[in-house]
């Protein structure tokens, strides 16, 4: 059973969190990315609980109504604060203990950063559709196709981005989800969270706070699984395959044929199986 909890990390920071599994079991913290929500892991949470883990999927800063500081102040959504939220969430749920970290898209960006900051806290790292920042930066320079794939990064910083994304019953989001293999019922769950101007402004504040600068975080020394769908419209093969050069630990790269950017929704059984294999290989 999935429990819907509110966890307070500080003043004005009350996060909505899906929890599943025994409270004293090894923690698996799952961080969602943009254009979706914590519902991205709806299929993985019960499977993780059944396998003996404590799975937690928070609705991140700005996505949780109780953790939505002023979106006009970009400093409120600086990556330092986003990373801090995730580390504080892990500490609240598994104080002083090592844990497994899973990140998708923007949640993956945070997860890469966390892995280089506190590697001693992580038993394993699982990445979904987000190459290492070093590999991504290299692809932006050397792969003629990657800047085109990433053109939305600039568009999301425009002042009128929110009304454009929500126009015609969120047609842009619905079209993207369908093109990348998200089932319609999953899209409705995500839009129940992000299909509102207030939430979407906060979600885009992540991009606006970052600007166009990509951080150099160094190499990762945590056992890592990277799952990439070869039909991902935002991440090309060069960036995905190039990630291996930035891992100084056991590394597994899994390519899902026909997989889009949101494989936990699109191919839940395959993603869950790979995730469980990885977690079992590196116990807490």
Question: In a 10 Å sphere around its CB, with 0-12 CB exposed, 13-18 middle and 19+ buried, how is residue 231 labelled?
Answer: middle
pLDDT of residue 212: 58
Percent of the chain at pLDDT exceeding 90: 92
Report, as an integer, the average pLDDT of 98-108.
97
Percent of the chain at pLDDT exceeding 70: 98
Residue 94's nearest CA partner among 129, 127, 55, 42 is 55
Supply angle C-alpha 84, 85, 88, rounded to 5. Answer: 80
Residue 241 in this model has a pLDDT that exceeds 90: yes
Question: Distance between CA atoms of 126 and 223, rounded to whole angstroms?
Answer: 8
Lowest mean pLDDT among 23-32, 99-108, 148-157: 148-157
Judge whether 125 and 98 are in contact, CB under 8 Å.
Answer: no
Report, as an integer, the average pLDDT of 114-127.
97
Question: Distance between CA atoms of 27 and 7, rounded to whole angstroms?
Answer: 15
**Per the confidence metrics, is the pTM higher than 0.75?**
yes
Say which residues have a Cβ less than 8 Å from residue 102's Cβ, sequence separation at least 6: 28, 29, 30, 31, 41, 111, 125, 126, 127, 128, 275
What sign has the CA pseudo-torsion 48, 49, 52, 57? positive
Report, as an integer, the average pLDDT of 46-62.
98
Question: Distance between CA atoms of 178 and 210, rounded to whole angstroms?
Answer: 28
Residue 281 in this model has a pLDDT that exceeds 70: yes
Question: Distance between CA atoms of 56 and 76, rounded to whole angstroms?
Answer: 23
Question: Considering the chain, what is the average pLDDT of its residues?
Answer: 95
Tokens describing residue 162 = 């929110």
User: What is the tens place of the pLDDT at every residue in 183-233?
Assistant: 999 999 999 999 999 999 999 999 999 865 567 799 999 999 999 999 999
pLDDT of residue 273: 98
Report, as an integer, the average pLDDT of 2-22.
97
Residue 54 in this model has a pLDDT that exceeds 80: yes
- Point out which residues pair with 40 in neighbouring strands: none
Report, as an integer, the average pLDDT of 259-280.
98
Tokens describing residue 101 = 């970290």
Length of the chain: 284
User: What is the tens place of the pLDDT at every residue in 14-44?
Assistant: 999 999 999 999 999 999 999 999 999 999 9
Kindly list the structural domains of the chain, giving each domain's residue range(s) and its CATH number in brackets, ordered by start. 3-281 (3.40.50.1820)
* DSSP-based three-state secondary structure for 253: strand
Report, as an integer, the average pLDDT of 158-162.
90
């Amino acid at each position: 059973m999935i429990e819907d909890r509110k966890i307070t990390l500080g003043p004005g920071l009350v996060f909505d969190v899906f929890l599943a599994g025994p409270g004293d079991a090894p923690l698996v913290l799952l961080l969602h990315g943009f254009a979706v929500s914590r519902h991205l892991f709806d299929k993985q949470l019960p499977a993780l609980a059944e396998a003996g883990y404590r799975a937690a999927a928070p609705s991140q800063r700005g996505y949780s109504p109780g953790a939505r500081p002023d979106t006009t102040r970009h400093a409120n959504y600086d990556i330092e604060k986003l990373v801090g939220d995730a580390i504080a969430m892990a500490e609240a749920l598994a104080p002083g203990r090592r844990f497994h970290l899973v990140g998708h898209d923007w949640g993956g960006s945070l997860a890469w950063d966390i892995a280089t900051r506190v590697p001693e806290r992580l038993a394993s790292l699982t990445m979904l559709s987000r190459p290492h920042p070093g590999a991504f930066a290299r692809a932006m320079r050397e792969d003629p196709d990657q800047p085109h794939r990433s053109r939305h990064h600039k568009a999301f910083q425009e002042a009128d981005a929110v009304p454009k994304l929500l126009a015609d019953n969120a047609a842009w989001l619905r079209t993207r989800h369908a093109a990348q293999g998200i089932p319609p019922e999953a899209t409705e769950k995500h839009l129940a969270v992000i299909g509102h101007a207030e939430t979407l402004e906060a979600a885009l504040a992540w991009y606006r706070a970052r600007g166009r600068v990509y951080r150099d975080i160094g190499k990762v020394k945590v056992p890592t699984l990277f799952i990439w769908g070869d039909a991902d419209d935002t991440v090309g093969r060069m960036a995905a395959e190039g990630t291996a050069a930035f891992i100084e630990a056991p590394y597994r790269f899994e390519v899902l044929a026909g997989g889009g950017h949101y494989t936990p929704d699109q191919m839940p059984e395959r993603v869950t199986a790979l995730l469980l294999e990885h977690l079992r290989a590196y116990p807490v």
